[in-house]
């Protein structure tokens, strides 16, 4: 159901021919009455901003945050494509607007796939009419399928609140990092959403996720809201929806054999805890250890010592699950058999306590595996 779980939205996904494989590659989410609804978005911080990000940002500025539809393609990122790329992104919006009977500025656009290759427009020129024709009140699943790249499964969410619903779909399987990722997410709701609700929801979900430390050129989270319900609790529901989508991404990260939650406590501040957690989460050596189910905590301490945060080698402790393996900076006795089970599980919780202050922070990541390399050593 995803985005069409919410009354007032239609969606569709088709294969238009961008992907050589013939898999679905063009998706649309639109208001059911083709009238503008409230639209909020958070975009990548990467300065090499993809054309669709530039165009969507301009459209939102132009309409004051209103949109009729979001069109998304997979198979090509339309990034590092210069002025022609911006023209192509605008053309995508114009094509959709023409079919829907709205203004081009009322259409937002997202792309995901390889960078630096001109977007093939012929399949899009011919694909938009069938896409719009396919719009349906139960089209959420088709749309969620059409935005997948190396994702192995759809990422959908529905959260029901008191009198309102939040639906969402997302894609993302690598290049997930601080400030989002090669990730796209479109959420719909019938509740009134404030910008702070979205900002906090993203902060507590996608921004806590790092697979490989790479921040993509295309990251976009969009919320469309009919605003039919002025509901208390939309902040919580939106946060939950974003968290579920982020966790689905972590579960499906390229080549990963496990999801690792890194929590840092006892830091000088929450900010420093987050920096330290991210340093561990992005350490190639730590990630290899987790893949090997090796509880080698020396690498964790070494990363903490070089994270650029307040650190005292004599007060640090490291815990896997509930089993503390190092206390006050040195190895401590522990149940080795139980630890073996903890390291072997599909979900690993690592906690590092710096023993300095009250700051705490959390980052979700994965292990680094042979399959990740297989996935990323070639693009052709």
Stretch 41-80: interaction string toward a copy of itself, x if CB under 8 A: ----xxxxx---------------------------x-xx
Q: Which residue has the tokens 């694909």?
A: 127
Choosing from 142, 149, 165, 216, the residue that interacts with a copy of itself (CB under 8 A) is 216
Q: Does 283 bind a copy of itself (CB under 8 A)?
A: yes
Q: State phi, psi for 227 to the nearest 5 degrees.
A: 65, 25
Could you say whether residue 331 binds a copy of itself (CB under 8 A)?
yes
User: Is residue 271 close enough to count as binding a copy of itself by CB under 8 A?
Assistant: no
List the 184-191 sheet strands across, edge first: 66-67, 37-43, 220-229, 184-191, 165-171, 155-160
Residues 163, 195, 271, 298: which binds a copy of itself (CB under 8 A)? Answer: 298
Query: Could you say whether residue 305 binds a copy of itself (CB under 8 A)?
Result: yes
Tokens of 246: 């982020």
**List 125, 203, 284, 341, residue binding a copy of itself (CB under 8 A):** 284
Q: What are phi and psi of 125, to 5 degrees?
A: -55, -45
Whether 149 is catalytic: no
Candidates 112, 182, 365, 369; catalytic one: 182
Residues in contact with a copy of itself, total (CB under 8 A)?
65
Q: What track of x and - describes contact with a copy of itself for positions 85 through 104 (by CB under 8 A)?
A: x-------------------
Contact 195, 32 (CB under 8 A): no
Q: Does 215 bind a copy of itself (CB under 8 A)?
A: yes
Chain residues binding a copy of itself by CB under 8 A are 45-49, 77, 79-82, 84-85, 114-118, 174-175, 177, 179, 212-217, 282-285, 288-289, 291-292, 294, 296-299, 301-306, 311, 313-314, 316, 326, 328-331, 368-370, 372-373, 376-380
Annotated active-site positions, please? Answer: 182
């Amino acid at each position: 159901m995803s985005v069409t779980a919410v009354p007032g939205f239609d969606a569709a996904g088709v294969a238009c021919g961008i992907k050589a494989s013939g898999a679905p590659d063009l998706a649309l989410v639109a208001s059911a009455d083709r009238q503008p609804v409230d639209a909020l978005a958070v975009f990548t911080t990467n300065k090499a901003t993809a054309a669709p990000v530039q165009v969507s940002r301009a459209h939102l500025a132009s309409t004051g945050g209103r949109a009729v539809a979001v069109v998304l393609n997979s198979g090509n990122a339309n990034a590092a494509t210069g002025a022609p790329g911006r023209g192509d992104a605008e053309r995508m919006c114009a094509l959709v607007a023409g079919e829907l009977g709205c203004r081009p500025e009322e259409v937002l656009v997202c792309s995901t796939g390889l960078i630096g290759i001109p977007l093939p427009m012929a399949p899009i020129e011919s694909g938009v009419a069938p896409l719009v024709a396919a719009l349906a009140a139960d089209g959420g699943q088709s749309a969620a399928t059409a935005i997948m790249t190396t994702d192995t499964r759809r990422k959908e969410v529905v959260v029901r609140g008191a009198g309102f619903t939040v639906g969402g779909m997302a894609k993302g399987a690598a290049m997930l990092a601080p400030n989002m990722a090669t990730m796209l997410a479109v959420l719909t709701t019938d509740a009134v959403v404030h910008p702070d609700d979205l900002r906090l929801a993203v902060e507590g979900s996608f921004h806590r996720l790092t697979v490989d430390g790479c921040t993509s050129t295309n990251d976009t989270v969009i919320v469309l809201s009919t605003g039919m319900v002025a509901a208390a609790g939309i902040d919580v529901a939106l946060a939950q929806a974003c968290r579920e989508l982020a966790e689905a991404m972590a579960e499906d990260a390229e080549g990963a054999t496990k999801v690792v939650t890194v929590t840092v406590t006892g830091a000088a501040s929450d900010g420093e805890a987050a920096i330290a957690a991210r340093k561990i989460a992005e350490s190639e050596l730590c990630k290899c250890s987790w893949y090997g189910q090796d509880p080698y905590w020396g690498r964790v301490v070494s990363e903490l010592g070089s994270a650029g945060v307040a650190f005292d080698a004599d007060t640090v402790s490291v815990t896997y699950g509930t089993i503390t393996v190092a206390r006050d900076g040195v190895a401590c006795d522990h149940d080795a058999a139980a630890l073996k089970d903890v390291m072997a599980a599909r979900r690993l919780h690592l906690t590092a306590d710096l023993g300095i202050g009250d700051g705490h922070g959390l980052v979700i990541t994965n292990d680094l595996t042979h399959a990740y390399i297989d996935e990323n050593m070639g693009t052709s």
